């Protein structure tokens, strides 16, 4: 079995400016933040980001790396509005494809299934149609048995990506990933919808002997690289390994970006984790 382990910087060395990147997790939950931090250390820019957005989008927006965002929302959950994302939008910093949460999900399904689109009963009647003039509709070839009507749906285009970044609780060296929290989010779909997928994990394991079968979410055929990054989702939640770091998230949301980067993002991942820990110790 091929050993797919690599460092976060090695992952980023395979990414290019102008790529379309999918980022797993949801809001401020189980985000591959160590991989995002590695991306921030690189020169990779001009990205199209596809995300159920949280601080991943906020940080990349603050650093000016986004050319275009595909999203239904950007939030820090306990802090409803992501400040860096807001600032970027209010200054017109990048292009936005704003779709509904379900449209987004069916776009991932279409990409994972190599279909050009999926029909969805969502979007029509809302201003999602106005702000996405490229969205097309499709009429059912079948008459509805009860109404006799052939309904017209939005044809949500496939959200195909050059690469996907996700973070899980456990992974093995060949790229199988396990989640141990309550929600898989859409990480398996992100991996299947991307040409390459990189999985970071809290801990590498040799085997999954006693695993509950349904926890083995990401399968190795859809994974290019595996990175062990304990605390790699910080400050987002990665239960049961750790909850969201609420005080730190608040600090992130209230600190001007240059100040935050100077204090926490000046070095590598180890330096980041030490700086975050030092900040907590100072507060005691």
Partner 1 sequence: MTDATRPSPAPSTGAPLPDTRTPPLLPPTRAEYCVIACAEAWRDNGEVLASPMGAVPSVGARLARRTFAPELLLTDGEAMLVGPDGTPEGWLPYRRHLTMVTGGRRHVMMGASQIDRFGNQNISCIGDWERPARQLLGVRGAPVNTLNNPVSYWVPKHSTRVFVEKVDMISGVGYDSAAEAGPTATRYHRIPRVVSNLGVFDFATPDHSMRLASLHPGVTVEEVLAATGFGPTVPDEVPYTREPTAAELELIREVIDPQGLRDREVPG
- Contact footprint for partner 1 (CB under 8 A): 26, 53, 71-75, 80-81, 85-86, 89-92, 98-103, 105, 120-128, 130-131, 147, 149, 151-153, 182-186
Q: How far is the CB of 190 from partner 1 (least distance, A)?
A: 12
Q: How far is the CB of 166 from partner 1 (least distance, A)?
A: 15
Q: How far is the CB of 272 from partner 1 (least distance, A)?
A: 27
* Nearest C-alpha neighbor of 177 from the set 28, 22, 20, 5: 5
Cβ proximity to partner 1: between 30 and 220 the closer is 30
Q: How many CB atoms are closer than 10 A to CB 79?
A: 16
Preceding peptide of 272 cis, ω within 30°: no
Cβ proximity to partner 1: between 181 and 230 the closer is 181
Cβ proximity to partner 1: between 83 and 230 the closer is 83
Q: How far is the CB of 41 from partner 1 (least distance, A)?
A: 27
Cβ proximity to partner 1: between 184 and 230 the closer is 184
- Please list, in sequence order, all residues whose beta carbon lies within 8 angstroms of the beta carbon of residue 176, skipping any fewer than 6 positions away: 208, 216, 218, 219, 220, 223
Q: How far is the CB of 217 from partner 1 (least distance, A)?
A: 11
- Please list, in sequence order, all residues whose beta carbon lies within 8 angstroms of the beta carbon of residue 62, skipping any fewer than 6 positions away: 84, 87, 88, 257
Residues 99 and 61: their CA atoms lie apart, in Å, by 18
Cβ proximity to partner 1: between 19 and 79 the closer is 79
b or e along 177-196 (b: 16 or more beta carbons within 10 Å of the residue's beta carbon)?
A: bbbbbeebbbbbbbbbbbeb
């Amino acid at each position: 079995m091929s050993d797919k382990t690599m460092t976060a910087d090695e992952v980023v060395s395979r990414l290019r400016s102008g790529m379309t990147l999918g980022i797993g997790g949801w809001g401020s939950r189980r985000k591959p933040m160590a991989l995002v931090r590695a991306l921030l250390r690189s020169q990779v820019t001009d990205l199209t980001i596809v995300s159920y957005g949280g601080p991943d989008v906020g940080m990349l927006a603050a650093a000016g790396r986004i050319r275009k965002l595909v999203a239904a929302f950007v939030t820090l959950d306990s802090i409803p509005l992501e400040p860096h994302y807001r600032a970027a939008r209010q200054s017109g910093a990048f292009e936005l494809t704003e779709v509904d949460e379900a449209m987004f999900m069916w776009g991932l399904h279409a990409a994972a299934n190599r279909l050009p689109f999926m029909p969805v009963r969502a979007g029509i009647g809302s201003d999602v149609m106005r702000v996405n003039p490229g969205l097309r509709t499709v009429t059912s070839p079948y008459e509805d048995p009860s109404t006799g009507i052939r309904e017209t749906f939005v044809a949500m285009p496939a959200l195909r990506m050059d690469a996907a970044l996700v973070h899980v609780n456990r992974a093995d060296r060949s790229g199988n990933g396990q989640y141990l929290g309550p929600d898989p989010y859409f990480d398996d779909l992100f991996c299947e919808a991307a040409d390459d997928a990189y999985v970071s994990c809290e801990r590498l394991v040799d085997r999954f002997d006693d695993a509950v079968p349904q926890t083995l979410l990401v399968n190795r055929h859809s994974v290019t690289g595996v990175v062990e990054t304990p605390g790699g989702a910080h400050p987002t939640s990665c239960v049961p390994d750790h909850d969201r770091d609420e005080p730190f998230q608040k600090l992130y949301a209230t600190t001007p970006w240059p100040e935050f980067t100077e204090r926490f993002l000046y070095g590598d991942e180890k330096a980041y984790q030490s700086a975050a820990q030092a900040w907590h110790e100072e507060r005691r």
